[in-house]
Amino acid sequence: MPAIHLTDESFSKAVGGAKVAVIDFWAEWCGPCRSMLPIVEKISDEYEGKALIAKINVDDFPEIGAQYGVRNIPFFLFFKDGQVADKHVGTIKESDFKAKIDALM
């Protein structure tokens, strides 16, 4: 299942309703964001039913990014029980990405 695309309206409900959630803040024009797309989609498939993997386009929905202090992308926020538990700025290896999710489960 591909990563869910969130909006300002759906963000809180999605994050609040998931035990573990990872939000990928990205933009179409961002090369490093595009390079992360296959990893994000693969992890979304692997963690389906265990963790919410979602994306939010900072150009279309800047309010959430501003609320969480997103200044550079890609920017990943890791939530546990609706609270920010970890973050990562920039690209990340698949194994490190999975380790961060596993640590929250």
Q: Which of 3, 33, 43, 52 is catalytic?
A: 33
99 is catalytic: no
Q: Which of 30, 37, 85, 104 is catalytic?
A: 30
Task: State the DSSP string of the chain.
Answer: -PPEEP-HHHHHHHHHT-SEEEEEEE-TT-HHHHHHHHHHHHHHHHTTTTSEEEEEETTT-HHHHHHTT--SSSEEEEEETTEEEEEEES---HHHHHHHHHHH-
33 is catalytic: yes
| Active site residues per annotation | 30, 33
